Structure formats: C-alpha cells, structure tokens
Amino acid sequence: MGFIRKIITSRPKSEDVFYTDLSKILGFKPKNISHYQKAFVHRSIRVIDKKTGFPINYERLEFLGDAMLSAIIAAHLFHAVPSGDEGYLTQMRSKIVSREHLNELGKDLDLLRFIRSNVILSNFGENVHGNIFEALVGAIYLDRGYAYCQKFIYKRVIAPYVVDILKLEGKITSYKSLFIEWCQKKKKELVFEVYEDSGNDSVKQFSVKLFVDGELIAKGRATSKKKAEEVAAKRAYYALQNEITSG
C-alpha cells in the first residue's frame, strides 16, 4: 500500500480525515482502505502496481461498480414493480443508472474532493463524477461484499427516489407503476377492480376502480383494462399528490 500512502499523504488532508469523511459517506467503516484509495486514483497519476506490473487507477473499479449497480437495481425493480414487463424494467434501470443521474450522485457526495490526478479539476468533464461514484461502489463490493454494496446502493441511489424514481428525467412513464411503488413503500393495499365493460367489440370500454386500503380513490375508463388502470392511477396520483410527493 506504499504507493497509495504516498498519494494520500501528498494531499492537504491526512489519511485519517480521508477515512473519517469516507466513513460518513458509506455509513460504515471500511476494512481495507486501499480499495477506496484506488477508487480515486486517476490514470494521469501513472502508478504501477509493483506486484502485477499493471497500472492502478479507478477504471477497473468503475467497471465493477457499474455491473453491481445494474444488478442490484435490476433486482430492486423486479420486486418493486411486479407489473413491469422486460421493456419497462430495462427502461427504468437505464434511467436510474443514466450518466446524468450518476453524475448528480457523485456531485451530491462531493467525491471529486478525493480524486488524485495530474489533470486540473476544472479540465475534467461532467462524467468524472459518475465514474468515481461507480468506482466507489466497486470498492465497497471488494471491501465488504454484496450485502454492504446493496445497502449502500439502496441508501444512496434507490431510497431517495422511491417515488421519484419513476419521474427521473422529468417524465412519469407509468402512473400505475408509480402508484404500486408508493403503496409498497407505505405498506398500503392497492386493488384495481373492473366494474363494467360495455359496447360492441370495436368500441368496447373497460371501467376500473382503484382502491387503497379499501377506500375508493379514483376511476378510469378506456378501451383496454391496462389503459383504464393507467387512467385510474393517474387520477389517483393527482388526488394524493401532496401525500405521495412528501414521501
């Protein structure tokens, strides 16, 4: 860990401060601090691992972190949105792990303060924030395993957007899925009830009632059950918008 120690001690902050600040971000104490130190080494430093002869920088950890984010968020969406088909789940995972979203997360945690680089910070592009966030996730996995990695991703990526997750990039793609997610979070029972369909085959209409904990919240009517449920969910969302958006 000699090369890492040199990198860290060359900074204004001591290694103890790095450890303390990092622990606050993680929500737990690292076991092997060297994994995290590597997560902030930019390739411009040109450090070589004396044991392997390979360059040391955050790019390999970034690759690992990207894979962990994708897998853990996919598993969350699979359980949280039981109505979502493959296309919808793929779309939502893409939004959550979009470069823009990861960049925001990296900025919110101010991860750039830890980076060691020969490049002036002002010359970095926006994507560096998301890159080192992914590298941090990879370091967590190497240091503490899947369970800690999952907890960190849920706390930092998923939990703040349990409702807003379906509004990322300013668009609600499915009010029904949003409502299901919110009800699951609040442990509320959600029921869609078809109470009428009428007309001939070419103009057949379906009517749906939406109940939350046994209380009728909204109704919807459309040419298919799926569309009628979406209409009812949209009306229910606006009926309970203050309660939903307040968390």
User: How high is the pLDDT of residue 175?
Assistant: 82
CA angle, corner 44, sides to 43 and 47, nearest 5? 65
Q: Which residue spans of the chain are classified as CATH 1.10.1520.10? A: 2-161
Distances 100 to 77, 78, 93 between C-alpha atoms, Å:
19, 23, 13
- pLDDT per residue rounded down to tens, the chain (247 residues): 444 444 444 444 457 788 888 999 999 999 999 899 999 988 888 777 777 777 788 899 999 999 999 999 999 989 888 877 888 788 788 878 888 888 888 988 999 888 887 877 777 788 899 999 999 999 999 999 999 999 999 988 887 655 455 454 345 667 888 888 889 888 999 999 987 665 554 567 889 999 999 999 999 888 888 888 988 998 888 888 778 766 5
Q: What are phi and psi of 70, to 5 degrees?
A: -60, -45
**Domain 2-161 carries which CATH code?**
1.10.1520.10
Structural fold of domain 174-245: Double Stranded RNA Binding Domain (3.30.160)
Helix, coil or strand: residue 66: helix
Q: Which residue spans of the chain are classified as CATH 3.30.160.20? A: 174-245
CA angle, corner 182, sides to 130 and 137, nearest 5? 25
Q: Among all residues, which ones are annotated catalytic?
A: 66, 134
User: How high is the pLDDT of residue 42?
Assistant: 84
For residues 218 and 195, give the distance between their C-alpha atoms in angstroms, rounded to a whole number: 13
For residues 203 and 205, give the distance between their C-alpha atoms in angstroms, rounded to a whole number: 6
Q: Can you list the alpha helix ranges (DSSP code H) found in 12-126?
A: 15-26, 33-38, 59-80, 86-96, 99-108
End-to-end CA distance of the chain: 44
